[in-house]
Amino acid sequence: MASAAAHTLIEAVPAAVADPGMTAIWEQALDEIEAGRLTLDAFVAKQVNWIAQLVEHCGALTLAVPVEAGPTCPICNASMRRRKGKSGPFWSCSHYPDCKGTVPIRKDTRRS
Closer CB to Zn ion, 91 or 93, in the complex: 93
Contact assessment for residue 59 and residue 65, using Cβ atoms and an 8 Å cutoff: no
Closer CB to Zn ion, 57 or 82, in the complex: 82
SS3 of 101, please? Answer: coil
Q: Shortest approach of Zn ion to residue 67 CB, angstroms?
A: 14
Closer CB to Zn ion, 58 or 103, in the complex: 103
DSSP string, 22-60: HHHHHHHHHHHHHTTSS-HHHHHHHHHHHHHHHHHHHHH
Q: Shortest approach of Zn ion to residue 109 CB, angstroms?
A: 21
Closer CB to Zn ion, 46 or 95, in the complex: 95
Sign of the Cα pseudo-torsion (68, 73, 78, 84, in order): negative
Q: Shortest approach of Zn ion to residue 82 CB, angstroms?
A: 15
Where along the sequence are the contacts to Zn ion (CB under 5 A)?
A: 73, 75-76, 78, 93, 95, 99, 101
Residue 22 CA to residue 13 CA, distance in Å, equals 14
Q: Shortest approach of Zn ion to residue 76 CB, angstroms?
A: 3
